[in-house]
Chain A
């Protein structure tokens, strides 16, 4: 089954403790992206990657890191989480021809709480 797999689904952590949220897709998609979803603010892009070893900042990159060493994986790293990073996070992937993105397949989401 074609899918984007995120782990974990739920995570509670303490301020300053490094964490990684994993994302993997099995559709050979070039483009992968991370979003956070907050009430009243909709979906905001954190980082995106157009292919292996190519990443770029989205609209809210502060406090996050990503890497794209393999085509299928795109982990999101919070080096020193803070309470304002408490949010619902989504990973998404898509075919990308170099001109347009053809539409996302989303993961199921990771609900992160930083205390």
Chain B
């Protein structure tokens, strides 16, 4: 069955440091992959998506993610975080008629 695993429930990182949020999925077929961000007390907003083509995907706010088919991973990265990146980040996989979400990773930015 399709599943999405976000390996870290919380990630603390100092401001201006790089960050990687990890996401692994299980699927036997071609999938579409997404990262969503949820700022405090707000809805979910699409950060970036992989549908096909280049495995390195660039999104909004300086984030990027790399699709690795052999490792079934879609890790999210940012080279230098800002206090405004404080949020919860959700990885998601679309397969056929479903989108399955990971349980989320809370990014805490330390001053």
Contacts and interface: CB of A to CB of B under 8 A. Distances in A.
Interface of A: 31, 33, 35, 40-43, 45, 48, 50, 56, 90, 92, 94, 96, 99-109
Contact of B43 (A40, A90, A101): A90
What's the interface size class on B, roughly? 20 to 34
Contact of B51 (A33, A102, A107): A102
Nearest to B34: A103
Interface of chain B, main secondary structure = strand
B101 interface: yes
Interface of B: 31-32, 34, 36, 42-46, 49, 51, 90, 94-99, 101-104
Task: Across the A-B interface, give the 9 residue pairs with the lowest CB-CB distance, nearest first.
Answer: A42-B103, A43-B101, A106-B44, A101-B94, A108-B43, A106-B43, A109-B43, A103-B49, A100-B94
Interface of chain A, main secondary structure = strand
Contacts, number: 59
Contact of B98 (A40, A41, A45): A45
Contacts of B45: 106
A102 B32 contact: yes
B9 to A, nearest CB: 9
A33 B44 CA distance: 14
